[in-house]
A and B are shown apart, each in its own frame.
Chain A
Amino acid sequence: SQTIHQWPATLVQPVGSPLSLECTVEGTSNPNLYWYRQAAGRGLQLLFYSVGIGQISSEVPQNLSASRPQDRQFILSSKKLLLSDSGFYLCAWSVASGAYEQYFGPGTRLTVT
């Protein structure tokens, strides 16, 4: 069966520090991968998605970047964190492009101080 991992689970970082969040998927090949942010409240904002190694699409221009160095690895980064980057970051995968469901990881709670 497929599983998705995210780490760290929680992170407290000062403003201006770098960020690296990692997501890995097991049990499937060539998944579509997604990064979402959930700020205070409940809404989900799609940040990046990837249909293959090295292929990244950005949905919202901001202080973050994403990379996919391996088929089942998706990394979210920032060179300098802002207070507004605080939130709950969720990684998800789906089988392929099309009308398919996505499966979410457990999330990373980021607090920028």
Chain B
Amino acid sequence: GDSVTQMEGPVTLSEEAFLTINCTYTATGYPSLFWYVQYPGEGLQLLLKATKADDKGSNKGFEATYRKETTSFHLEKGSVQVSDSAVYFCALSSYNQGGKLIFGQGTELSVKP
């Protein structure tokens, strides 16, 4: 079945460092891909999305490119801030899942000043 695999956390970075969180997926057909962010004690917020191969989603300095050939959707940011400390979830949705999201296990990011 469809699945999403994220890199293990926690990830600890210094402020202004470059961030990459790896995400790979397995899916039949052509899924849409998403990154969600969860701040402590809050619900999930949609960070960015991509609906077809080679699409680049971007928001708040974060970017991710839908790579069909490598089945990946890695999250990147050029310069992280302390306020980016959160848990990041990669997810996919496809028509054969009937609208359900398949989530990765989440990656905790901690940014130190």
Contacts and interface: CB of A to CB of B under 8 A. Distances in A.
Contacts of A43: 103, 105-106
Question: Which of A51, A94, A99, A102 has the most CB atoms of chain B within a 10 A radius of its CB?
Answer: A99
A101 B49 contact: yes
Contacts of A46: 100-101
A101 B34 contact: yes
Contacts of B1: none
Interface string B90-111: 0001110011110101101000
Interface string A81-113: 000000000101010111111111111010000
A49 interface: yes
B46 interface: yes
Contacts of B41: 107, 109
B94 A99 contact: yes
B93 to A, nearest CB: 5
B44 interface: yes
Given A44-B103, A44-B106, 4 more contacts: A43-B103, A49-B100, A104-B43, A107-B42
